Amino acid sequence: MPKLKREYSIALMVIAGALLLVFGVNYLKGLDLLQRRNVYHAVYTDISGIAETSPLLLNGYKVGSVVATDLLPGSNALIVVSFQLNEDGLKLPRDTHIRIKGDLLNKWTELMLGDSTVLAEPGDTLIGDVTPGLTEALGQQIDPLKRKAETMLVSVDSVLTAFQQVLNPKARNDIDSSLSSIRSTLESLDKAAQQLNQLIAVERQTISATLGNLESVSGNLRNNNVQITRILQNLDTTAATLANGSIQRTLSSLDSTMAEARTIMGGLREGNGTLGQLMANDSLYRNLERASNELDLLLEDVRLNPNRYVHVSVFGKKDKLPKLSDSDVQRIGDAVRNGTKE
């Protein structure tokens, strides 16, 4: 076998070195060039902490790694991440998620196997999502608390301002006077309670006797319940009887009496009978008025000329008649009106 030329030896050595260099670099990246490259893709909006050679885990076991990251063209700023799956026997359902997870120090990707019966082929794009890390989770929880705290501080500031406006010297004096009034009211209530306790202590026997009487009355009512019920039934029966008969007859009699009274009043208005004549004819009134005038004249004449009407004699001898006084004339007039003799 002829010897190779020196140039060919150098070329073979360079090619072998290059192959070793590529193999070493990919090995350091976690890529196994001796295995078939099952590459899958996922799209994200944020891949902070993820770089090439970041591990791809399944339940904590490394099944692959990130091999490339590229920015998709367009204005959405979406990032496509390529993963190499090193396990040939692992089959991925079509709805498998590749989730970015991490803690305060590290970030990694994790397979979340789906339930679909359709399997994903190498080169397919799987569903990518991001689990918030501890910092992001704390931020998401702290941000609402921060907003609430800011709102609370504003409210507290408003309340303090209102208190400062309310608690002026006049308001403080009013509050002091109100507290004094409340204190005096409570003292009055305490005194009233003490007086009530004393009254109850003094009148305890009377109250006990009263309660005993009430209890005896209640017992009597309870014992005589049958009799009371019978009395009420009798009253009910009596009322029903009155309502059915006597009251009806009484009302009928009252109606007839009212009818007769209306007839009598009608006759009186028409001048029937003596009373009707008196009401309808004024001749009797005029005669009485004329007689009264004549009687007044007669009495006046008797007062002025008593000798015409009265003669006084004692033992058959006529004496001089005395002059009558006004009271005597009045008495004689009353006697004449009453139809008697004096």
Residues listed for the chain: 342
CA–CA separation, 158 vs 145, rounded Å?
Answer: 20
Over residues 83-108, mean pLDDT: 84
Q: What's the pLDDT score for residue 338?
A: 60
Out of 59-63, 279-283, 313-317, 326-330, pick the least confident.
313-317
Give the integer Cα–Cα distance in Å for 100 and 112: 10
Band (pLDDT 50/70/90 cuts) for residue 342 is: very low
pLDDT of residue 310: 63
Find, among 40, 24, 164, the residue nearest to 91 by Cα: 40
| pLDDT tens digits for range 238-259 | 777 766 666 677 777 888 888 8
pLDDT at 323 over 60: no
Q: What is the pLDDT of residue 53?
A: 80
Q: What is the pLDDT of residues 41-72, one digit of tens each?
A: 899 988 888 888 888 898 888 888 888 888 88
CA nearest to 304, candidates 327, 321, 329: 329
**Tokens found for residue 191:** 């005194």
As a whole number, the mean pLDDT across the chain is 77
Residues 6+ apart with CB under 8 A from 301: 308
* Residue 317 pLDDT greater than 70, yes or no: no
- pLDDT band, residue 264 (cuts 50/70/90): confident
Element (H, E) at 277: helix 273-280
Phi, psi (rounded to 5 degrees) for 99: -105, 135
Q: DSSP for 284-314, please give it.
A: HHHHHHHHHHHHHHHHHHHHH-GGGT---EE
Q: Would you put residue 66 in left (φ > 0), alpha (ψ -120 to 50) or beta?
A: beta
What is the dihedral sign for C-alpha 258, 259, 262, 267?
negative
Predicted local distance difference test score (pLDDT) of residue 319: 47
For residue 284, give every residue at least 6 positions away whose Cβ sits within 8 Å of its Cβ, in sequence order, or none: 277, 278
- Quick check: 107 pLDDT over 60? yes
The per-residue pLDDT for 340 is 45
Q: What is the pLDDT of residues 146-175, one digit of tens each?
A: 788 888 888 887 877 777 766 667 777 777
Rounded percentage of the chain residues whose pLDDT exceeds 90 = 1
Average pLDDT rounded to a whole number, residues 109-128: 88
pLDDT, tens digit, for every residue of 185-225? 998 898 898 888 888 888 888 888 888 888 888 888 888 88
Range with lowest mean pLDDT among 89-103, 215-229, 307-321: 307-321
Please state whether the predicted TM-score (pTM) of the whole model is above 0.85: no
Helix (H, G, I), strand (E, B) or coil at 92: coil
- pLDDT for 328: 66
